[in-house]
Amino acid sequence: MDKVLITRVIPENGIEILKDEFDVIVNKEDRNLTKSELAELSKDVFGIVSMVSDKIDGEILEDAKNLRIIANYGVGINNVDISSATEKRVFFTNTPDVLTQATAELGFSLILACARRIPQADRFTRNGEFKGVNPVLFLGKELYGSTLGIVGMGRIGAAVARMAHFGFDMNVVYYNRTKSDREKLVGARRVELEYLLKESDVVIVCAPLNEDSKYMLGKNEFSLMKDDAIFVNIGRGEIVDTNSLIEKAQSSKDFVVGLDVYENEPNFDRRLLELDNCVMLPHIGSATHKTRMKMAEIACMNVLKVKRGECPDFVVNGGELCRAKD
Ligand code: NAP
């Protein structure tokens, strides 16, 4: 029986799809596989259901002689060496669309948590410090009518824009490398990055990690942002130079940061923990029951489709492998 490796526990509906046709190996530990564990376990498998945190490079692919598909459990694709996968005729798929709304909602939750200091107020109340209504307690920022700048307005960014425009009457601007055809639908206007950073009361990063976005926000970019802005990152940690972010948050207590993603996850810069003006989440953008089940279904169905000689859905490596089969 062919084997499938699932690198973290996923919702059971995914495993159900695979279990009759494959020997399914699941990493049941509450940690990512190390590089050597991943390499060893990948050696004789037909498919890998991988997390966006699993780095699958040319070396791993070289030794994975039976591998036919890497089905990423997520929309991000920066964890896999795509050209090596294509060269080795390994399908690489992801799970776009189904996680758009959940991730956008989480992004907007972070904006609201930062604006109204919700985690700090929760800790305060639990600590028994609530002594009655206080007119100057936990004064926050109001979003209504303010300016939101979206760095990377694709599917997720546009869903955030829609919430901001229709729900909070925010003035929405965005920066993409190319003009988005979604902009009119969500009331957003494309501007240069410098303008966005200078003018926005809230900046949210929804871009993928790629050659152009890696460390695109550094010292200079943080210096352009308002000292009392809200800065949220739900894209990828490596888009931001963490050192510059920390310096900005240290020097301006009114600058509030909300993070779902980090450089070098899960070993993020521990100085972030010392910032009271920072809300930190453990990369849970798409974490709703509904979305995670849908992601499991797509990823596992894709493995099954390849086994049955069909073309999987959401092929990242150009569909060349599908075309080659026709
Ligand atoms: P998408 O539809 O492909 O949108 C990406 C957008 O970013 C596009 O509009 C793209 O426009 C823009 N972009 C790409 N490179 C850029 C750059 N260098 N500078 C500025 N804009 C850039 O992807 P999506 O489905 O919205 O997902 C976006 C990302 O969110 C994923 O790749 C992933 O990293 C992240 N994500 C995080 C979580 C989480 O749990 N926190 C969950 C899901 C996704 P141009 O190509 O025109 O620049």
302: domain CATH number is 3.40.50.720
**Within this chain, do residues 169 and 59 fall inside the same structural domain, yes or no?**
no
**Within this chain, do residues 114 and 90 fall inside the same structural domain, yes or no?**
no
- For helices 155-162 and 100-115, angle between their N-to-C axes, nearest 10 degrees: 50
CA of 87 to the centre of ligand 1 (A): 25
DSSP state of 69: E
Q: For residue 208, give the ligand 1 atom closest to its CA.
A: 32
pLDDT tens profile 126-140: 999 999 999 999 999
What the block records as the tokens of 260 is: 């779902």
pLDDT at res. 184: 92
List active site positions: 236, 265, 283
Q: Considering the entire predicted model, what is its pTM? A: 0.97
**Within this chain, do residues 209 and 252 fall inside the same structural domain, yes or no?**
yes
CA of 209 to the centre of ligand 1 (A): 7
Residue nearest to atom 29 of ligand 1 (CA): 208
Nearest to 22 by CA among 65, 60, 68: 68
Domain extent for 191: 100-280
**Within this chain, do residues 225 and 259 fall inside the same structural domain, yes or no?**
yes
CA of 61 to the centre of ligand 1 (A): 26
| Pocket around ligand 1 at a 6 A CB cut-off | 75-76, 96, 99-100, 103, 151-157, 175-178, 180, 206-210, 212-213, 234-236, 260-261, 283, 285-286
Q: In the chain, how many domains are there?
A: 2
**Within this chain, do residues 263 and 321 fall inside the same structural domain, yes or no?**
no
Q: For residue 213, give the ligand 1 atom closest to its CA.
A: 18
Q: For residue 99, give the ligand 1 atom closest to its CA.
A: 43
**Ranges of H-type helices in 43-132:** 58-63, 82-87, 100-115, 118-126
Nearest to 178 by CA among 202, 152, 200: 152
Cα–Cα distances in angstroms (integers) from residue 251 to residues 227, 247, 254, 275, in the given order:
9, 6, 9, 11
pLDDT tens profile 151-205: 999 999 999 999 999 999 999 999 999 999 999 999 999 999 999 999 999 999 9
The Cα 232–Cα 202 span in angstroms is: 8
